[in-house]
């Protein structure tokens, strides 16, 4: 059951860089995730930390919720609109510069909902065909 949500839109950082930071905290406790993001050496960590604080603050509006019970149930970084600019290139040409933006979404809940990905070693071994 989702307790609270928070969105940050039009962040001036690419979604790929933002996903590097949020992959560190997916499924963690909210308080633990704040510490991980604070210790992160990524610019995207500051954006994720700010959005996570907002989600925690939204959850604290309900008096039945305690801060140490909250887990990150879902955290996603989606593409936003691209700012397109041009710069001069060789032989009178122009090349496009794409300034990418992101939308960050954080959902908190009281229960842990870690998404498990199958490891390479857990996959069923494929049978080898022998040519004769």
pLDDT at 122 over 90: no
Q: Which two tokens stand for residue 78?
A: 């989606």
Considering the entire predicted model, what is its pTM?
0.79
d(CA 87, CA 74): 39
In this predicted model, what pLDDT tens digit does every residue of 61-82 receive, in sequence order? Answer: 988 889 889 999 999 999 999 9
pLDDT at 1 over 90: no
Given this model, what pLDDT does residue 96 score?
96
Contacts of 31 (CB under 8 A, 6+ apart): 67, 68, 70
pLDDT band of residue 36 (cuts 50, 70, 90) is: very high
Asked, for residue 37, whether it belongs to a domain, the answer is yes
Domain count, the chain: 1
| Average pLDDT value for the chain | 89
Asked, for residue 132, whether it belongs to a domain, the answer is no
Task: Identify the CATH number of the domain in which residue 10 sits.
Answer: 3.90.470.10
pLDDT band of residue 117 (cuts 50, 70, 90) is: low
Given this model, what pLDDT does residue 111 score?
76
d(CA 16, CA 18): 5
Residue 15 belongs to domain spanning: 2-87+94-114
Given this model, what pLDDT does residue 85 score?
96
């Amino acid at each position: 059951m989702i307790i609270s949500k928070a969105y940050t839109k039009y962040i001036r950082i690419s979604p790929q860089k933002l996903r590097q930071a949020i992959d560190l905290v997916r499924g963690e406790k909210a308080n633990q995730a704040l510490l991980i993001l604070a210790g992160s050496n990524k610019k995207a960590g500051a954006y994720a930390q700010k959005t996570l604080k907002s989600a925690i603050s939204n959850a604290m509006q309900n008096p039945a919720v305690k801060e140490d019970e909250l887990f990150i149930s879902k955290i996603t970084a989606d593409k936003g609109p691209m700012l397109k600019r041009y710069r001069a290139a060789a032989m009178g040409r122009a090349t496009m510069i794409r300034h990418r933006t992101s939308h960050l979404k954080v959902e908190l809940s009281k229960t842990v909902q870690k998404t498990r990905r199958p490891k390479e070693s857990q996959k069923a071994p494929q049978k080898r065909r022998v040519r004769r």
